[in-house]
Chain A
Amino acid sequence: MNKVLLVIKREYLSRVQKKSFIVMTILGPILMAALFIVPVVLAQMSDETKKVLVLDETGWFEGKFENSDIFEFTQLNTDIEAAKISLGELDGYALVYIPKPAVSVPSSAIVYSKRQVSIDLKSYVNNVMTKEVERQKLSAEIYKEINKNNPEALAIHADSVTPESIRSNEIFKNIKTEIQITSIQIKEEGKEQKSYAEASMGIGMFAGVLIYFFIFLFGAQVMRGVIEEKVSRIVEVIVSSVKPFQLMMGKIVGVALVGLTQFLLWVVLTLLIVTVFQAAMPEAFNQKQNTEVFKGDTMLPEGVSADQIPEEEAPAGTLSIVTEALGTINYGVMIFSFLFYFIGGYLLYGAMFAAIGAAVDNETDTQQFMMPITVPLILAIVMAQFILRNPDGPISFWFSMIPFTSPIIMMIRIPFGVPYWELALSMAILTVSFVIAVWMAGRIYRTGILMYGKKVTYGELWKWLFYKG
């Protein structure tokens, strides 16, 4: 056991110290962080003035939205359906709809847009509305106050009362206003999709693709490592100290740890870069604002009937959908399954990659044996689209049972909800399979690593399985 640890340590350290590992570790997070940052920066940089239509049913905010370099506001005086049509006709960026509240002051707005609407607009609308409503409330309060004490002072304009002078007063409590901004994305007809399903798809697909890449990248590393030992002729020196099986397992586990380290570093570094960027450009990434807006997004505003929403699309900030969809997924099951299939799938394929490495003399000879490994993996990715459309069908079921495809297919299915017995069965099959695969690979490996200068056939590999140690 001690010797396996030594092998694992060597495999791990020799790879982690490689230049390519360090370069990948740094480049990966930069690329991933760029995926988050670049769209935001681009949105910031676009200097085109965006046309925003305002339909104010309350009449409170007429002329309050001021044109700027970014937004040009146009007041409408139609009803909401007509306004939505004009949004298309006028090629507007967004439509701000302030519905007339049933009883009290305006407290909500809906931003309709064809694309994801920027946070800038939402926060601006929020600001203007909050200010105006507070001003109106303040006037009313002051009017009440003055009326009570000194009727002559009616002429005093509310503007002359500064917020500071009132802060201590109980009036302040009364005028405090919170505006809820809801954004709704208007999609072209026929393209309506359940957004929750979209998010689920994304998460499952992401997990599946991650496993696919992990198996391919690091499985191939196992294979290359075995070939390297054969080519450099060190293998006989080593197997005179450790059992070939120990050497093989040490390599597989060592490489797996390298992979996990890399992924962990990627996640941490990506978060780090994004965080640093947020700190550097707070206006683009104001976290506090984001959360406030999201809070607003997920709640239906007063005055908007619930049945109006699904017709046009559910509330639509992509992130908020993801957050909500994430809420519907069982996290425990998802994380546990991901780790299980991640490791199980890797062990199954890693063992096969090791066996291939042992059977050949150099990398070009691996082609003939790579086929049976790559085909099921690629098939699983190709099938993904189909599985997404029909996650509970018989094909989905069988592909998530076959151990060669189950690590990917099952991960795609899990966000849609998979019965526990199916999950358990699939995991049991995978476990049994990787035990068998590791055993078989061990037999092939043991014979193959000491075999030089010979093109091996499948028939011979089969015979190797039954050689006596």
Chain B
Amino acid sequence: MIIFSARNVTKRYANHVALDKVSIDIPRQSIFGLLGPNGAGKTSLIRIINQITGPDEGELYFNNQRLTPRHIEQIGYLPEERGLYKKMKVGEQALYLAQLKGVHKHDALRKLKILFEKFEIQGWWNRKVEELSKGMQQKVQFIVTIIHEPDLLIFDEPFSGFDPINVNLLKEEILELQKNGSTVIFSTHNMASVEELCDNIALINNSRKILDGSVKDIKNQYKTNTYAVLHEGTNGSVLPWLPFGATLVSNEEADHGYQSIVRLQAGSNPNELISALLPHVTIYGLNEIVPTMNDIFIQTVKGAAMGAEINTTNAN
């Protein structure tokens, strides 16, 4: 089931196109990674989802309905550029922001008390924001993002400025929100956390979507049938016995014997590799090398850049 979908969304500014016919579908109760290099158009897309700006072309659907201002209260947004009124008291401010999201004062107070305790900042209710550390301000911002229990949450670089303990606290909170039925859009450059949290991703580069799908599928798609074999013997000793079509990518001395990275021909499987090597060397271990999201990100973005270069060269 799709909670949010964008169809052919285009956004132009005076001098450049920020989004060029971007379509995404975000499954309900998933954590959706919105990835892309700086200036790719992620923030433009997020602002369109939040109805801060409108698209020039394309349609947006929330729960299969056309996106309208009344959906604002079902969306929570933690922007990358975020802050609080410095001179305002923490509690007062959280209450104000909650009320702006349409939560009644009474409900808001009750929920805020619970969340303030959960994040261990209850003692700061009557302090001014400027007295808080950056991490604590971030906690307040996170709380006001989720206070109205929205169906769709958008976090833009949520972990920046947090120490590892608080990053964990936040991750757990995000996963719990997901478990309780929320859908999360997660925009970040931190590929490790993408791998850890995201179910689906979309990769935007140069205002176009160049990759999307579930993390599992994408990783499978980017597998190169490459294996790391840990074996006894000497440098390059497996080379003569590799099966047909396989190449030795690298090999080096490991703690215990040698590790050789072998890429197999498309269609062959690791059993063939094992049976080919088994008569000649002792095998201690074999692992499939799965590309990390980091690799995929760099590879795709670079590939797209090269593609674009080729296109421009051709045009010339």
Q: List residues of chain A with CB under 8 Å of any chain B CB.
A: 3, 6-7, 10, 14, 18, 228-229, 232-234, 236-244, 450, 452, 460, 463, 467-469
Contact = CB atoms under 8 A, between A and B. Distances in A.
7 contacts: A6-B100, A7-B100, A232-B85, A233-B79, A237-B77, A241-B101, A469-B53
B52 A450 contact: yes
Contact of B77 (A240, A244, A468): A240
Nearest to A238: B100
Contact of B82 (A237, A241, A243, A244): A237
A312 to B, nearest CB: 61
Contacts of A460: 14
Contact of A241 (B53, B81, B97): B97
B82 A240 contact: no
Contacts of B14: 460, 463, 467
Q: Which of A236, A240, A242, A468 has the most CB of B within 10 A?
A: A240
A10 B82 contact: no
Contacts of A229: 85
Contacts of B51: 240
Contacts of A242: 100
A239 B51 CA distance: 9
B54 A236 contact: no
Nearest to A466: B14
A50 B52 CA distance: 75
Interface in B180-229: none
Contacts of B52: 236, 239-240, 244, 450
Nearest to B84: A234
A123 to B, nearest CB: 55
Nearest to A239: B52
Given A3-B100, A238-B100, A232 B75 contact: no
B88 interface: yes
Contacts of A7: 100
A234 B77 contact: no
Interface residues on B, range: 20 to 34
Given A233-B81, A234-B82, A234-B84, 20 more contacts: A10-B96, A14-B85, A14-B88, A233-B79, A234-B83, A234-B85, A236-B52, A236-B77, A236-B79, A236-B82, A237-B78, A237-B82, A237-B144, A238-B100, A240-B72, A240-B79, A241-B100, A452-B81, A467-B14, A469-B53
Contact of A240 (B50, B88, B96): B50
Contacts of A233: 79, 81-83
Contacts of A238: 97, 100
Interface of B: 13-14, 47, 50-54, 56, 69, 72, 75, 77-79, 81-88, 96-97, 99-101, 141, 144
B106 to A, nearest CB: 15
A466 B83 CA distance: 29
A232 B86 contact: yes
A236 B81 contact: yes
Contacts, number: 67
A123 B86 CA distance: 60
A445 to B, nearest CB: 12
A388 to B, nearest CB: 43
A69 B99 CA distance: 70
Contacts of A243: 69
A236 B82 CA distance: 7
Contacts of B56: 468
Given A236-B52, A468-B54, A14 B100 contact: no
A460 B15 CA distance: 11
Nearest to A460: B14
A119 to B, nearest CB: 50
Contacts of B85: 14, 228-229, 232, 234
B90 to A, nearest CB: 13
A234 B53 CA distance: 17
B230 to A, nearest CB: 50
Nearest to A459: B14
A240 B75 contact: yes
Contacts of B82: 233-234, 236-237
* The 4 A-B residue pairs with the shortest CB-CB distance in the complex, in nearest-first order: A233-B83, A241-B100, A232-B83, A236-B79
Nearest to B130: A232
A233 B141 CA distance: 12
Nearest to B75: A240
Contacts of B75: 240
Nearest to A447: B53
A6 B54 contact: no
Contacts of A236: 52, 77, 79, 81-82
A468 B14 CA distance: 11
B28 to A, nearest CB: 21
Nearest to B88: A14
A229 B83 CA distance: 9
Contact of B47 (A237, A241, A450, A452): A450
A229 B97 CA distance: 14
Nearest to B145: A237
B222 to A, nearest CB: 34
B161 to A, nearest CB: 12
A126 B141 CA distance: 75
B144 A6 contact: no
Contacts of B86: 228, 232
Contacts of A6: 96, 99-100
A463 B12 CA distance: 13
A463 B15 CA distance: 11
A3 B97 CA distance: 10
A250 to B, nearest CB: 10
B84 A232 contact: yes
Contacts of B99: 6
Contacts of B83: 232-234, 237
A256 B75 CA distance: 32
Given A468-B54, A468-B56, A241 B84 contact: no
Contacts of B96: 6, 10
Nearest to B54: A469
Contact of A237 (B13, B72, B141): B141
A452 B69 CA distance: 25
